[in-house]
Amino acid sequence: MGTWDKGAFDNDDAADFSGDLNDAAPGDRVRMIRDALTAAADNEDYLESPEACQAIAAAAIVASQQPDGPEVDSVYGPDFLTDGGSLDLPDDLVELSLRAIARVLDEESEWREQWVEADSLEEAIEALEPIRAALNR
Measured torsion, CA atoms of residues 77, 19, 26, 28, in degrees rounded to the nearest 10: -110
Q: What is the pTM of this model?
A: 0.96
Q: Which of 106, 94, 103 is nearest to 132 (CA)?
A: 94
29 CB-near residues (< 8 Å, 6+ apart)? 21, 87
Q: Which of 80, 103, 92 is nearest to 29 (CA)?
A: 80
Q: Are 93 and 37 in contact (CB under 8 A)?
A: yes
Q: For the chain, which residues make up each domain, given as ranges?
A: 12-136
Q: What is the pLDDT of residues 55-111, one digit of tens each?
A: 999 999 999 999 999 999 899 999 999 898 899 999 999 999 999 999 999 999 999
Query: pLDDT at residue 1 above 80?
Result: no
